[in-house]
Structure 1
């Protein structure tokens, strides 16, 4: 399942930290999105899948991630997201601060969490393309098993006497 959401904004989070967009964009570019881990609740022993993209937008760092249902705990998160239960994204990084501003940093990982530090960082399912392909494949398989309509048996007059 693909999900999308904002992983960080330029607004203060619940802890008062502000991630500067230029610094975050630089960290993503230096590390490469394929090298940023995608975890479940910041637990290094619980990978949640992999990041597909991470782009800076006016709203913040927009992330598309693929959840791996085979990983422990991820299938339950997929169900929760499909049921529209709130889930969010959270960053883990190293670096130094200028007051409450997070200056040059190294992005360690992005996590799927129950309560993100930034209330704007919620996720939602991406409807295309994998989820729809999966849905169409299931519908096609069901349609192949069941005939579109059933024809009643044809009885010819001479068969009625037998």
Structure 2
């Protein structure tokens, strides 16, 4: 299903999109290219953010979708939505670094919330954010998410999630009621 918001066209990712999506996600979070935007994790993590296998797993999972946002025929943003009973999980969120700050992230998040509510009847959206990412957490709080204080350890030693540059990383659960 395609819908259009703020010049973006939304659709579910396919196998053919995997390489483009990996490049987008990596550019938004890792390395020098990520510094063009404000969502970079380059100061806290080296290594990869994801890989083709991880993206393909989301695309293929029956309970998960990788929502893409296209502009002028190019994927410029994406996010994972996973149906988990009464709630949906939001992750793998990326906006092209050169477009960050232009309202695209807000539009993608709003579309993800709408689809989780309408397609799955999800009463709540949940996500985990690295707890030291205060600016990012504040961005989500301005969009109605609240901190729960519930944390899970960062998977130190599993390079699929990156190579930490500090030893105090953990994930914090953020939630928003959708009803």
TM-score by length of 1: 0.27
TM-score when normalising by structure 2: 0.25
Q: Which has the larger radius of gyration?
A: 1
The one of the two structures with greater contact order (alpha-carbon pairs below 8 A, sep at least 6) is 1
Higher helix fraction (1 or 2): 2
